[in-house]
């Protein structure tokens, strides 16, 4: 009388559609959605960052800029921030360096030391961004489907 079918997961439905030749590019190569952070995780991260900051200031000889980059590195992974944030910071630093170097023709404008410090910061931002991209690539769920090219066209 009633035909009750068991509910299938989306992943299984995608595989079945691919086998039949009916598939959607977006559904097959879709990125896994990130889970939102809980308030407990946010509070623990903030506490760890504050304790680490105090500990680094008191027990190490690191400068405040070095401590900032270490804490930024930790926050990028703890809060699951996108790698584009770090790379965007590097691009902003490069634009600042460009404007500072444009003013080097004036005698009253000497910013060589400042430009060098910003360049080191740009390098740190880029390293953190690339490490985060490698992490995202490794942890991202990529499903390889034999017989299907990246374009979504079934190969023969």
Which pLDDT tens digit goes with each residue over 17-49? Answer: 666 665 555 554 555 555 566 677 778 888 888
The answer to whether residues 96 and 103 touch, using CB atoms and an 8 Å cutoff, is no
pLDDT tens, 119-156? 999 999 999 999 999 988 888 755 555 555 555 555 55
Other beta carbons within 10 angstroms of residue 47's beta carbon come to 10
pLDDT reading at 15 higher than 90: no
pTM higher than 0.75: no
Residue 47 to residues 42, 44, 55, 111, 149: CA-CA distances in angstroms? 9, 5, 12, 37, 46
């Amino acid at each position: 009388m009633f035909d009750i079918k068991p509910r299938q997961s989306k992943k299984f439905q995608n595989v079945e559609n691919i086998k039949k030749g009916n598939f959607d590019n977006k559904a097959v190569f879709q990125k896994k959605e990130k889970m939102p952070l809980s308030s407990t995780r946010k509070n623990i991260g903030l506490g760890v960052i504050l304790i680490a900051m105090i500990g680094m200031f008191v027990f190490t000889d690191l400068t405040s800029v070095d401590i900032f980059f270490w804490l930024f590195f930790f926050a990028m992974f703890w809060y699951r921030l996108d790698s584009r944030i770090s790379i965007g910071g590097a691009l902003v630093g490069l634009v600042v360096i460009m404007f500072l170097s444009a003013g080097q023709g004036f005698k009253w404008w000497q910013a060589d030391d400042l430009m060098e410090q910003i360049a080191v910061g740009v390098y740190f931002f880029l390293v953190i961004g690339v490490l985060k991209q490698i992490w995202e690539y490794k942890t991202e769920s990529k499903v390889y489907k034999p017989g299907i090219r990246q374009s979504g066209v079934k190969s023969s």
